[in-house]
Amino acid sequence: MTRPRFHLAFPVHDLAQARAFYGGALGCPEGRSSDRWIDFDLHGHQIVAHLAAEAGDRAANPVDGHGVPVPHFGLILDWADWEALAARVAAAGVDFVIAPYVRFSGDAGEQGTFFVRDPSGNALEFKSFKDDAQVFATG
């Protein structure tokens, strides 16, 4: 089944830094752009960095012993792609908010996850499930 693609527009304070982070560190091909925004291809999904003022307060919620940034967005990747992206991000010198680890180990919804922030402070989560049937598992 073909899955729908999502579109997400989000604020950044510097387009050059956004270009370096999304295009360089994350390896997202660049699409259209202007002096106020840049389209990126995030694994087939369209994300758009818009030059804007600071987005406001950011919070964290406790999940599995970590402070998970709110709001955040990201992708669910195949396990090998998740491991490769974690290595790419580390090699690019990006600081992890939550370093790669396996969350809910042995429980419903077991997943590999890591969090990073772009240069404008937007939080991104990248995760993977060894068993795709666990994505929405409740118990």
Distance CA 106, CA 25 (A): 31
**Collapsing DSSP states into helix, strand and coil, what is residue 96?**
strand
Range of the domain at 13: 7-51
Residue 66: give its domain's CATH number: 3.10.180.10
Residues 47 and 71 in one domain: no
pTM of the model: 0.85
Residues 69 and 35 in one domain: no
pLDDT digit string (tens) for 71-122? 899 999 999 999 999 999 999 999 999 999 999 998 888 999 999 999 999 9
Distance CA 74, CA 83 (A): 15
User: Has residue 40 been placed in a domain?
Assistant: yes
User: Has residue 56 been placed in a domain?
Assistant: no
User: Has residue 1 been placed in a domain?
Assistant: no
